[in-house]
Amino acid sequence: MPFKLNDELDKLVDTLARQANMERWCHRLLSELHHTLDLSYLTLLVEQEGQTRVLASWMGNEEFKYYLHPLSLTNYNGVPPEHLEEVRQTRRAVTRTAHKPFKAIWNEQSLQWQRILFPIIMHDKAVAYLYAETLSLERLTQNLAAFERVLLLIASDISVHMLREEALTHNISRRSVEAELEVRNYSLREYLSLLKQLHEVTLALAESVDLDNLYRTAITLGRKKLGIDRLAVFLTDMQQYTMQGTYGTDPDGEIVSRYSFSSDIPDHPLVHEALSRKDVVVVKENAPLYFGTQQVGTGWNAMISMWNGDECIGWVAADNLISQRSLTEHQKEIMKLFGAALGQQIVIKRSHEALTRLNAELEQRVQQRMQELQQTNKALEEANRRLEAWSMQDGLTGVANRRFFDLTLKRYWQVAARKQLPLSIIILDVDHFKAFNDTYGHQRGDVCLKQVAVTLENLAEKHEKAIFSRYGGEEFVCLLPNMSAEALSGLAGEMLAAISQLGIPHTGTREGIITISLGLYTRTPVEDAQEEVLLAGADQGLYLAKQRGRNQYFQWDDAIAVEKEYQGAHISS
């Protein structure tokens, strides 16, 4: 027989009316709803001065929090913003199913969580909202009518209490100007003290002998000097989208090695925000606090990303698990500076360790060269060859660069002229690439160019002595010695098909994917002709391929040039 709670909910309304202040009122409301309706996570939001703010929350482990100064939703981890927007528009309750609580970062067990957001209406206007999460809707569904009646009845309580709290707050504010000034002076002294401590921490970081010592020093002094309960330093590989631990603090505040901790970067709004913004401390209240992937408590959670140019190299995580002290604005600023200093030292130490390893290798080579002169010369030649190869390589795509192509073209032209062999060339261009960058961003554009370059280079390398180079921007060139015009046409067809098969989305083309246009030209050098005629012919072909609609190739030959020249002369006559 279903357990009916009508009487209990009616008693709850009477009990709420006798509460002395808003904090006790919220505690009574959320605790009763938790116990009687099997609601695990609860958040009460109120409309205050035109904004929706968080007034109180109840966790599944009997943890109640009341915010004397209601929190902005941007600083609270626990209510899906899209649910709130939907309820604002419809003024009706919203229920959604998810595999984990909204606030959870790590979740190893996939369950059927129900997320419910109720509007609390008074005079046809939402004065508050109640958000809840539960693994079972049975008890709430059985008593939905009684529950909605409670929401209707408490709407006036919320309005009255909020007005009373605002009046009290304003009254206290008028009488506490001097006290506030003293608090600000104290806060300033605290900030200056923290700056001094940060200076000492920064000097100690700079004196760290290696990366391991740097990570440990950062955790030790960060806790000791900056007054933070728990710290951890994580390194990131953004290409693999993984994270790696270094040192951190356990739930008791003891420093422990976390090198064994490795994982994919969690898919969570807090993490995404922290890893996408420079020089910003991302802080969320009411956040689950973890040791590894195991939740050990609740409090504020802060993340400060560390950067090397435009590359995110890791982040510093901090929380208040032990003391539960609030985070001041001065502490946030100090943490931001701390993260910047640590990130800079990581880059310096990495470079120094790489240089140290290089110097050690060079010293070993010198000793070997002193013993065997022949091996020394070979090693030097190999090093010079590698250095030359690096100078001839395009930094973004990894294929040969324009300089290497220009040098190779002269050499291949001279060989073809001496042996009277054909020399073929393909100039190609990624279609509508500016529109691709404008639509998807330069980072996606760079990835696209890399994919195109690697794919086409693999095709070109199947032909002996073929050279594939980046010519500039989204333009590439392929030089093929001793290849006939017919074979060149076949290779161009393979290149078109290979790029289409990549299927890189591009809404700016009629095909809906990335395509290329190619200009082809084959020429056997004759007396007094320079290699520039080869480029000019291929460039004409590329122009006509684009003019005819792109995603195709056009093979230029001298007969076309003569015909155009003749037509021009005929018109002029």
Sign of the C-alpha dihedral, residues 533, 497, 500, 482? negative
> Residue 119 phi/psi, 5° resolution?
-80, 145
What is the Cα–Cα distance from 226 to 331, expressed in whole angstroms? 8
- Three-class SS state of 93: coil
Confirm whether 178 is a catalytic residue: no
> Residue 233 phi/psi, 5° resolution?
-115, 125
What kind and span of H or E run contains 296?
strand 294-308
CB atoms within 10 A of CB 120: 24
CB atoms within 10 A of CB 189: 10
What kind and span of H or E run contains 539?
helix 532-547
Q: Residue for token digits 């017919």?
A: 486
Sign of the C-alpha dihedral, residues 384, 386, 392, 395? negative
What is the Cα–Cα distance from 444 to 572, expressed in whole angstroms? 49
Task: Give the active site residue among 474, 475, 486, 563.
Answer: 474
End-to-end CA distance of the chain: 105
Tokens of 66: 């009341």
Distances (CA, A) of 527 to 233, 401, 418, 423, 559: 68, 29, 10, 15, 19
Question: Which residues are known catalytic residues?
Answer: 474
